[in-house]
Amino acid sequence: MKSHYRVVVIGGGVVGASVLYHLAKLGWTDVCLIERSVLTAGSSWHAAGGIHALNADPNIAGLQAYTIDLLSEIEAESGQNIGLHMTGGLTMAGTPDRWEWLQSAYRTFQSIGIEDCRLVSTEEAVALNPIMSGEGLLGGMWADREGYIDTTGTVHAYAGAARKRGAEVIERNRVLELNQTLQGWEVVTEKGTVSCEHVVNAAGLWAKQVGRMAGIELPVSPLNHHYLISDTIPQLEELDFEVPMTVDLEGFTYLRQDQKGVLLGIYEINHQHWMMDGAPWEYGFELQQEDPDRIEHELTLGFNRYPCLQEVGVKTWVNGAFTFSPDGNPLVGPVRGKRGYWSACAVMAGFLQGGGVGKSLAEWMIHGTPEADVYGMDIARYGIWAENKQYIKETTGQFYTRRFVMTYPNEQLPAGRVLKTPGAYADMTAAGCQWGQSWDLEVPLYFAETGFEETPALKRSNAFPIVADECRAVREGVGLLDISGFSRFEVTGPGAEKWLDRIMASKLPGPGRARLAPMLAEDGRLKGDLTVFNWGPDPDGQTTWWIMGSYYLRAWHLRWFDDHIDEGVQVRDLGDDTAGFSLSGPKSRAVIEKLTDGPVGDLPFMGCGSFDIGLLRCKVGRLSVTGELGYEIHCRAGDHATLRRILLKAGADAGIREVGFNALLSLRLEKSFGIWNAEFTQGYTAGMTGMDRWIDWNKDFTGKAAALAERDGNGPARRLVTLEIAADEADASGYEPVWAGAEKVGFVTSGGYGHTTGKSLAMALVDVAHCAEGSDLSVHVVGVEKNAKVIAPSPYDPAGQAMRT
């Protein structure tokens, strides 16, 4: 062991070994892995080792596909046999809704380039896996690239390939403490102290303790997971092929062959946490006692699905722990405020996702950004509220229990709620508000009569007419929307304007004005679709700026700001201090003018200023995502209930109606207004999404060289368009494939129903050859192909007169 390395990776499981390998592969060979015991001594050695390319998050599915392709490469490079059995795999559905979902998921995988899967009938599935009973099944999906590997061999293959590239692996050396230095980190171990520029927490079951060594409370918890290995099954001895990896979603089980028996794994509903503060340091190759009584229901379903298990004994029980995050996805990336500290934790499907995690983290560390859009596993998707132990317990348990449970797009899950509420929460609830969650905050979805319950659905739900009424209220009168769920950052200091001018690709607004502002990474991809406000100078002549964006990106954007900050600039997160409401609709000016004697009604479009609204001093901007005349009114968080009350009173004569974000999503589609995590992501460029129309090409800004190269080169291969879809009963939602005949030419970014236009609408990234207005295409909606047509942007009020009146 040397005294200094560029990177120290802590943890000798599959994730740590993959990170080490990818760092060396990308050219950083002065790196080492430190393991407290020996490689695999944690969760890796007892993992079931199943692999499959399918995942509900398309970006993570892509990383899983990468991992599968990588396995044979590391086997060849290391010379270590990984025991790869590519048996193919089945995912089975046993309810009509699940079968519809599976058909829809099949089309999603086509959108992201996973072509080696197909839908199969129950009869074909039983032929592919003869030990499976088809009773109660409606169909399934087959994937070629599924199977299993030898887990211990795979970890050693990653580590061996890393060694061959110059990396070092140090076993039997526990890390005792971490100390941040000006140059990076001091890693104190049992065998001495090592300094490094970067340290990676890939400690698995010990991630909690390794986080706390750096003053970080990671939202992770281990949960126990059962599987059994059967004795030899005579029916398998008669087959000349291995049965495929098979997932029975309604049965909560997965199965693969193990020699001439099977491995049956269970995601039990009655979950069990284990050592929430981290595993004991001496723990490694131990297991927990099996608990068949706790999993009796799932075992019964499994033994009925595979009747041959009723005729043979159980050779081995495994009840071991894996770490989970609140949503089940990994926690990867740099930790804000701890420069050089990287997380690679909570990778509960390590052999399936470990390759993609290692690749993305190594790219991130070396190049400044990963190739793929990895927000779904970025540690910055959580804030400090997720450090709460009860929150972690509720949410990780909910994820585990629902691992194979059908979850609907409109379903609101209860764990970790209600956490943070807007000031008017009680009054809005009394008025019938139905709530959703954004980050830690409760946000309004729509307002319904007392006793209303929305039915979970893949298609249009029973809330459809309620949302239609709210949209009508905005288009014809005035709607009131709680906008506490927007992020707000205050930017001040002598260097504020210069800094904003550099990190924003647009022109900056003048005093008393606001402007839409794309923010780009150095490689030209998007880092934000933001709005910048210039509130003008204070009495001391200092200008206050605001940046507004998506509430759930607060930690993500703060980390970006911190990493790119200049001297003389202060950025303050106002998300917990500021709330507000928006007024939208042709009668909104009449309402707001009742409450102030200031010239708020004279604000130009995209104008802003401070005004007295009733008894409150508020910041007001004239803009609206609905496409109507509108005002965003910002107040202190404690004034939220008062602001609502006075706005409702002032708007009573105008028929004011409270609305939620479901209506906003419909209204913005009718204007072809994109939103983050749909039309805009860090995987797309300004040119692809139309955000380049806001770029000021006459100034220098972060990402300009890459953006110019796209503009002046061949341009993007795909562009954002608006589609009208001949859909009924259901609407596109995202990642459905777009077809020109039999050719796949793009995918939907988001969709819904336009209640004003009476059309099913979607926005989609489509090959430039098929982007022309009038192009005839088709889209799969909940698995069914529907005709579609490219239409002109903004099918409602294309000239934009309503919001500028």
List beta partners, residue 170: 34
What are the pLDDT digits (tens) for 754-764?
A: 999 999 999 99
Check: CB of residue 218 under 8 Å from CB of residue 331.
yes
Please choose, from the candidates 518, 487, 488, the residue with its C-alpha nearest in 3D space to the C-alpha of residue 500.
518
Instruction: Evaluate if residue 54 carries a pLDDT over 80.
Output: no
Average pLDDT over residues 383-402: 97
The letter for the amino acid at 324 is F
Average pLDDT over residues 498-527: 98
Kindly state the tokens that stand for 344.
């690679």
CA dist list (Å): 181 to 6, 184, 186, 208, 513? 14, 5, 7, 21, 43
Check: CB of residue 404 under 8 Å from CB of residue 249.
yes
What are the pLDDT digits (tens) for 480-491?
A: 999 999 999 999
DSSP codes, 612-655: EETTEEEEEE---TTSSSEEEEEEEGGGHHHHHHHHHHHTGGGT
How far apart CA 210 and CA 202 sit, in angstroms, is 9
Instruction: Determine the pLDDT at residue 245.
Output: 97
In sequence order, the 6+-apart residues with CB closer than 8 A to the CB of 573 are 487, 488, 489, 554, 558
Least confident window among 109-123, 246-260, 431-445, 731-745: 109-123
> Average pLDDT of the chain?
96
In sequence order, the 6+-apart residues with CB closer than 8 A to the CB of 201 are 10, 11, 207, 210, 211, 214, 218, 341, 342, 343, 344, 345
Instruction: Determine the pLDDT at residue 240.
Output: 95
Instruction: Evaluate if residue 53 carries a pLDDT over 80.
Output: no
Torsion, Cα of 595, 624, 581, 670 (10° steps): 130
Please choose, from the candidates 569, 755, 563, the residue with its C-alpha nearest in 3D space to the C-alpha of residue 666.
755
pLDDT tier for residue 304 given thresholds of 50, 70 and 90 = very high
Instruction: Determine the pLDDT at residue 115.
Output: 87
The letter for the amino acid at 518 is P
Task: Report strand pairing: 185-189 vs 175-180.
Answer: antiparallel
Instruction: Determine the pLDDT at residue 261.
Output: 98
pTM for the whole thing?
A: 0.96
Tell me whether the CATH fold assigned to 4-324 matches the one assigned to 483-576+685-714: no
Instruction: Determine the pLDDT at residue 57.
Output: 76
* Burial of residue 257 (number of CB atoms within 10 Å: 0-12, 13-18, 19+): buried
How far apart CA 25 and CA 8 sit, in angstroms, is 16
What does the domain layout of the chain look like in residue ranges? Answer: 4-324, 483-576+685-714
Task: Report strand pairing: 168-170 vs 175-180.
Answer: unpaired
Sign of CA dihedral 29, 34, 38, 40: negative
How far apart CA 75 and CA 55 sit, in angstroms, is 24
Instruction: Evaluate if residue 56 carries a pLDDT over 80.
Output: no
How many CB atoms neighbour CB 181 within 10 A?
A: 11
CATH class of 4-324: alpha beta
pLDDT tier for residue 717 given thresholds of 50, 70 and 90 = very high
pLDDT above 70 as % of the chain: 100
Instruction: Determine the pLDDT at residue 539.
Output: 84
How many CB atoms neighbour CB 712 within 10 A?
A: 8
pLDDT tier for residue 513 given thresholds of 50, 70 and 90 = very high
Determine whether domain 483-576+685-714 maps to CATH 3.30.70.1400. yes
Helices H / strands E in the chain, number of each? 20, 37
How far apart CA 393 and CA 221 sit, in angstroms, is 7
DSSP codes, 40-56: TTTTGGG---EEES--S
What are the pLDDT digits (tens) for 571-582?
A: 999 999 999 999
Please choose, from the candidates 118, 103, 121, the residue with its C-alpha nearest in 3D space to the C-alpha of residue 785.
103
Alpha carbon of residue 770 to chain centroid: 29
Of how many residues is the chain composed? 805
Instruction: Evaluate if residue 683 carries a pLDDT over 90.
Output: yes
Q: Angle at which helices 350-367 and 14-25 pack, to 10 degrees?
A: 40
CA dist list (Å): 308 to 72, 229, 245, 611, 742? 33, 13, 16, 75, 43
Peptide bond into 418 cis (omega under 30): yes
pLDDT tier for residue 450 given thresholds of 50, 70 and 90 = very high
What are the pLDDT digits (tens) for 157-172?
A: 999 999 999 999 999 9
CA dist list (Å): 395 to 325, 347, 349, 400, 464? 8, 16, 18, 9, 29
Angle CA 105–109–111, to nearest 5: 115
Instruction: Evaluate if residue 394 carries a pLDDT over 80.
Output: yes
Please choose, from the candidates 616, 598, 761, the residue with its C-alpha nearest in 3D space to the C-alpha of residue 608.
598
HEC letters along 680-702: ECCCCEHHHHCHHHHCCCCCCCC
DSSP 3-state of 609: strand
DSSP 3-state of 493: coil
Average pLDDT over residues 187-196: 98
How far apart CA 32 and CA 50 sit, in angstroms, is 28
| Helix runs in 295-418, H state only | 296-305, 350-367, 389-401
What are the pLDDT digits (tens) for 58-96?
A: 788 888 889 999 999 999 999 999 999 999 999 999 999
Helix (H) or strand (E) holding 339: none
Instruction: Evaluate if residue 599 carries a pLDDT over 90.
Output: no
